[in-house]
Amino acid sequence: MATKWLTPPEMAAWRSFIDTSGDLLRAIEKDLEPFGLDRGDYQLLAMLSEAPDNELRMCDLADSLRLTRSGLTRRMEGVLKKKLVSRVQSKEDGRVAYAQLTPKGMELLKEAAPEHLESVRKYMIDVLSPTEIKAIATAFTKIASNLG
Amino acid sequence: MATKWLTPPEMAAWRSFIDTSGDLLRAIEKDLEPFGLDRGDYQLLAMLSEAPDNELRMCDLADSLRLTRSGLTRRMEGVLKKKLVSRVQSKEDGRVAYAQLTPKGMELLKEAAPEHLESVRKYMIDVLSPTEIKAIATAFTKIASNLG
DNA sequence: CGATAATATTTGCGTCCTCAACTATTTCTT
DNA sequence: AAGAAATAGTTGAGGACGCAAATATTATCG
């Protein structure tokens, strides 16, 4: 079976994506430092803030953060110690624990979110044309549904 | 200063990008497992294979792999042990060491590359229209030059 | 020329994460 | 209802990487 190589535009897409996506995420993460958050913490808080009662089961939260359960257990240690999130044991099911955003966590998130959005704009959105923005949205959505 | 929120298409672009890019990279990395390589190793070998004499100074290699020098030192331990890469001390400058692809490393890379490209096609390229591919290339190129 | 600064690399230490194994609880199966 | 299987979460071990400090070598400046 002959290997089908990538055409120049295909290669350009792939290369620019791998070369740049890490840099982009690192740049955005750096802007979260003043708040004492890294990207993982921010995403965790953001996820909880969008959930009913600001709480999610550990395993659902792990899935949405693309962490293993054990990875989430470890990350929780940090935000628990900072009192940004609290643990709530479920009454109905003795196995499940909820992670719940505390008022302090919500407050910090509300402080950090505008900065964070500003970073997303600065490093990504504002650099792109509306057409490119739409293309990225549809492209990654297609990739995701092809993966899942 | 009022926060400028993201419009729905902007939010869709950002969300789909962060939600998906990690999954995409993980899927591609998984296909490298049969070769005993992870993505870091593959990139390292690929970089060397494109360099003159199949060798690069450690610090240049670190930069192109987006690793710190110390990170590269550690990653080198793995590929050195597997004899995929060898260390060459510079004659002109006593400080610098070169990482050089071994024949064995080159051979493995040539085995793995078609598989790898096939993964890139399968998970990314073949899912997208030519327009989307071009848009991704120009978009990430713009983002990169804005970052740098 | 000699002191200082710059450059290249490694090492110690800490963090984050995964995998595999373990515990605890609930849900099937028959 | 009893035993097996599934589900939720934690823990121990280990890997990969960053930061800061240490080391070695070369370049620069007075």
Q: What is the CA radius of gyration of chain A?
A: 19
Q: H or E stretch including B56?
A: strand B55-57
Predicted local distance difference test score (pLDDT) of residue A47? 98
pLDDT, tens digit, 9 for 90 and up, residues B70-128? 999 999 999 999 999 999 999 999 999 999 999 999 999 999 999 999 999 999 999 99
Backbone φ and ψ of A98, nearest 5°? -105, 145
CA-to-CA distance for B87 and B138, rounded, in angstroms?
Answer: 37
> HSE-up of B132 (CA within 13 Å, CB side)?
17
Mean pLDDT, range B35-55, rounded to an integer:
97
CB within 7 A of strand D (chain A, 39-78): 57-59, 62, 69-70, 72-74, 76
Give burial (CB, 10 Å; 0-12/13-18/19+) of A142.
Answer: middle
Contact A17 B140 (CB under 8 A): yes
Q: Determine the residue among A136, A142, A145 to mutate to test chain B binding: the one whose Cβ has the most chain B Cβ atoms within 10 Å.
A: A136
Look up residue A46 and give its amino acid: A
Residue with tokens 């791998």: A18
pLDDT, tens digit, 9 for 90 and up, residues A81-104? 999 999 999 999 999 999 999 999
Query: B30: which nucleotide lies closest, measuring CA to C1'?
Result: C18
Q: Which residues of chain B does A12 touch, with a Cβ-Cβ cutoff of 8 Å?
A: 137, 141
CA-to-CA distance for A4 and A33, rounded, in angstroms?
Answer: 44
> What is the spatial distance, in angstroms and rounded to an integer, between the CA atom of A128 and the C1' atom of D14?
42
Contact A124 B141 (CB under 8 A): no
Q: CA angle B57-B62-B67, nearest 5°?
A: 170
**pLDDT exceeds cutoff 70 at A1:** no
Q: What is the number of other CB atoms lying within 10 angstroms of the CB of residue A52?
A: 6
Q: What percent of chain A has pLDDT over 70?
A: 99
Q: Determine the residue among A25, A32, A143 to mutate to test chain B binding: the one whose Cβ has the most chain B Cβ atoms within 10 Å.
A: A143
> What is the spatial distance, in angstroms and rounded to an integer, between the CA atom of A128 and the C1' atom of C22?
50
| A82 CB less than 7 Å from any atom of strand C | no
Q: pLDDT averaged over chain A?
A: 96
Q: H or E stretch including B55?
A: strand B55-57
Considering CB atoms only, which of B124, B127, B146 is closest to A14? B124
CA-to-CA distance for B127 and B114, rounded, in angstroms?
Answer: 18
Query: B59: which nucleotide lies closest, measuring CA to C1'?
Result: C8
Count how many pairs of residues, chain A against chain B, have C-beta atoms within 8 Å.
158
DSSP B83: T
Look up residue A73 and give its amino acid: T
pLDDT, tens digit, 9 for 90 and up, residues B86-100? 999 999 999 999 999
Look up residue B64 and give its amino acid: S
CA-to-CA distance for B79 and B101, rounded, in angstroms?
Answer: 10
Contact A141 B66 (CB under 8 A): no
How are strands ordered across the β-sheet holding A85-89?
A55-57, A97-101, A85-89
**pLDDT exceeds cutoff 90 at B1:** no
Contact B23 A117 (CB under 8 A): no
C-alpha distance across the termini of chain B, in Å? 27
pLDDT, tens digit, 9 for 90 and up, residues B4-43? 789 999 999 999 999 999 999 999 999 999 999 999 999 9
Residues 6+ apart with CB under 8 A from A24: A123, A124, B143, B147
**pLDDT exceeds cutoff 80 at B2:** no
Residue with tokens 């600001």: A54
Please answer whether residues B84 and B45 qualify as being in contact, where contact means their C-beta atoms are separated by less than 8 angstroms.
yes
Look up residue A28 and give its amino acid: I
**For chain B, which domains are there?**
26-147 (1.10.10.10)
CA-to-CA distance for B60 and B79, rounded, in angstroms?
Answer: 17
